[in-house]
Amino acid sequence: MNGQLPRWVDYGLIPLINVTIAFFVAGLVVIAIGENPLDVVRIMLRGALGYGEGVGFTLYYATDFIFAGLAVAVAFHAGLFNIGGEGQATIAGLGVALVCLALNGQPWWLVAPLAIVAAMVFSAAWAYVPGALQAYRGSHIVINTIMFNFIATSAMVYLLTHVLKPMGQMAPETRTFDVATRLPFMKDYITPLGYDLGQSPLNLSILIAAAACVLVYLLIWRTRLGYALRTVGTNPTAALYAGIDPKRITVIAMIISGALVGLIAINEVMGTHHRLFLGFTGGAGFVGIAVALMGRSHPIGIALAALLFGMLYQGGAELAFEKPTITRDMIVAIQGLVILFAGALEHMFRPALERMFITARAATA
């Protein structure tokens, strides 16, 4: 069945076709509201890649999506659908904020390792509970992770309004971290070298994201744990036969998945906004699902898909700015179309392509 297609088709051509179709349909929508789709594409591309600041923003968005995509992918390899990234990252934000506030004024290079550990531990703990409930109580991971998203938001509302908000301030957010404690912006390093990143919030987190891609690749395909994880994910009965405990692996996979998505808080709380506020995740946890689907749960694919979604976010923002007829909601619709075609309809063109390649191969054979 599967595996009849060359890898470059499986991982390259099919996603490309899906994205092309998505843009084509989006183009029809643009025509319907009386705009020129080519214009729209030009504005989006220029906005996302045309100048330093745009590139900076694109990569900044992509950083979140990489963390979220990797998290979904790791769980997915173990046969789990973690859609609680949003809540897990929110809780991670709490960990990061607590560390940064406690060590306020200390240099970032001292605080960052602790903040990273806090982010990963807090969100891993938040993912552990649904994981353990799934493994030992059989309550469904999807339901539990969704509910944990709501619990995380509610808990955050309480903490921000009752505990963490400084006296005399209206907005439900913590105080801003000291300049020394903030994770440095990439623009501070890159712009002096001659490439102007403008005011983009791209920060050191993107390097952590790159490292995470490599580590996840090693974890899944090179380690003994990864082998056990994939065995449980593809054939739990065979895992039992092989003496691998699916329950234990379920819990471990959720912990790793949670730890990865928690790094969004490093990018957002410590790297960009320098304070904790409600909804800092901006839906990245959910976009991660589409990113992982589109990237076929492979770190390289996830990095590319994250980049594409980063471009959509940044290009979309510019588009909404330049074309008043195309509202923010329009952009969301286009993103939705990409998710629809790249994720949900992933297999739509596969059978036709398989037939094509098989006949082509038979003809040459």
Partner 1 sequence: MTAPAPSGSAPPTSAPPAIELVGIDKRFGAVHANKDINLVIPKGTIHGIVGENGAGKSTLMSILYGFYSADKGEIRVDGKPVAIRSSQDAIAAGIGMVHQHFMLVDVFTVLENVILGAEGGRLVAKAEARARAELHRLETEYDLAVDPDAVVETLSVGLQQRVEILKALYRGAEILILDEPTGVLTPSEADHLFRILRQLRDQGKTIILITHKLREIMAVTDHVSVMRRGEMVAHLTTAETSMEKIAEAMVGRHVLLEVDKGPANPGAVLLDVSGVSVRDKRGVTLVDNVSFQVRAGEIVGIAGVAGNGQSELIEAITGIRAPTSGTVTVNGQPVPADPAKVRDLGLAHVPEDRHHMGLVLPFEARENAILGYQDDPRYGSGLMQDAGAILKTCETQMAAYDVRPPTPRLRTSLFSGGNQQKIVVAREIERDPKVLVVGQPTRGVDIGAIEFIHKRLIDLRDQGKAVLLISVELDEIRSLSDRVLVMFAGKVVGEVAPSTGEGEIGLLMAGVAKDRQGKGAGA
Tokens of 346: 């992933």
135 closest CA partner among 51, 201, 220, 232:
232
- Residue 282's alpha-carbon distances to 61, 62, 247, 264, 330, in angstroms, are 10, 13, 32, 10, 17
Which among 128, 139, 144 is positioned nearest to 250, based on CA atoms?
A: 128
* Comparison of 14 and 312: residue with beta carbon closer to partner 1: 14
CA distance 93 to 172: 14
Residue 254 C-beta: closest distance to partner 1, Å: 19
Apex 125 CA angle, 124 and 127, nearest 5: 65
CB of 242 to partner 1, least distance (A): 4
CB of 12 to partner 1, least distance (A): 19
Of residues 199 and 359, the one with the C-beta less far from partner 1: 359
Greatest alpha-carbon span in the chain: 78
Of residues 239 and 270, the one with the C-beta less far from partner 1: 239
Task: Copy the structure tokens of residue 84.
Answer: 């609680």
**Which residues are within 8 A (CB) of 156 and not within 5 positions of it... i.e. 6 or more apart?**
90, 91, 93, 94, 278
Q: At residue 322, what is the residue type?
A: E
Instruction: Taking the CA atoms of 133, 134, 140 and 143 in sequence, report the sign of the dihedral they define.
Output: positive
**For residues 322 and 354, which CB has a smaller minimum distance to partner 1 in the complex?**
354
- Tokens at residue 360, please? 């082509």
Given a contact cutoff of 8 angstroms between Cβ atoms, the answer to whether 255 and 282 are in contact is: no
- Give the whole-angstrom CA distance, residue 25 versus residue 31: 10
Between CA 338 and CA 315 the distance in angstroms is 14
Write down the least CB distance from residue 354 to partner 1, Å: 9
The closest of 48, 89, 11 to 334, measured between CA atoms, is 48
**Residue 73 or 339 with smaller CB distance to partner 1:** 73
Binding site for partner 1 (CB under 8 A): 1-4, 218, 222-225, 227-228, 230-231, 234-235, 237-238, 240-244, 358-359, 361-362, 365
Name the residue among 318, 327, 335 with its Cα closest to residue 44: 318
CB closer to partner 1 out of 84 and 233? 233
Distance of closest approach, residue 244 Cβ to partner 1, in angstroms: 7
Q: Which is nearer to partner 1, 131 or 233 (CB)?
A: 233
Beta carbon of residue 82, minimum distance to partner 1 (angstroms, whole number): 21
> Min. distance of Cβ 230 from partner 1 in angstroms?
7
Q: Which is nearer to partner 1, 232 or 303 (CB)?
A: 232
Structure tokens at 340: 């629809």
> CB of residue 296 vs partner 1: minimum separation in angstroms?
13
CB of 84 to partner 1, least distance (A): 26
The smaller minimum CB distance to partner 1, of residues 231 and 272, is found at: 231
